[in-house]
């Protein structure tokens, strides 16, 4: 009987804590940085041929993914899986379906560099955005620096 009671108490203690970290009700953030991120998210110049933005595969008004089995990238190239949701992705332990990126900073390199997604490079993106006066102004204001990749 003691073993059963000990087992029940131990089980209750183990499962009394959240297995998944709850999303906070409020998050502190820099408003200007968020606006810059939004502009970048919708900017097709991040892709090699200026046709694909992050928003091309992550529909924010439909759950943050593209709701198709396999995503389509530049030149109508077919990917290898569908786009996971970006909603609350900052709270994911890992990024991508296979968990290959540990952070959003690491995640962004995947679609940018992959030939069948955006097919671009940070150097090319920096060149494109460095001639845009609004981006220059925003990067200077927020980061006190020029546009970097």
Q: Give the residue numbers marked as catalytic.
A: 117
Q: Distance between CA 143 and CA 5 in Å, rounded?
A: 58
Q: Distance between CA 73 and CA 147 in Å, rounded?
A: 25
- Give residues with Cβ within 8 angstroms of 114, minimum separation 6: 73, 79
Instruction: Count CB-CB contacts under 10 A for residue 126.
Output: 14
- Give residues with Cβ within 8 angstroms of 83, minimum separation 6: 57, 58, 65, 66, 71
């Amino acid at each position: 009987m003691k073993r059963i009671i000990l087992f029940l108490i131990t089980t209750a203690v183990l499962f009394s804590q959240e297995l998944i970290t709850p999303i906070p009700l409020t998050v502190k953030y820099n408003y200007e940085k968020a606006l810059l991120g939004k502009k970048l998210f919708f900017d097709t110049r991040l892709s090699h041929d200026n046709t694909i933005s992050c928003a091309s595969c992550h529909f924010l008004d439909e759950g943050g993914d593209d709701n198709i089995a396999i995503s389509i990238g530049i030149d109508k190239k077919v990917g290898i899986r569908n786009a996971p949701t970006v909603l609350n992705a900052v709270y994911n332990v890992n990024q991508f379906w296979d968990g290959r990126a540990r952070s959003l900073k690491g995640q962004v390199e995947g679609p940018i560099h992959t030939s069948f997604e955006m097919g671009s490079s940070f150097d090319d993106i920096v060149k494109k955005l460095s001639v845009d006066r609004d981006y220059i102004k925003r990067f200077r204001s927020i980061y006190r620096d020029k546009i970097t990749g």
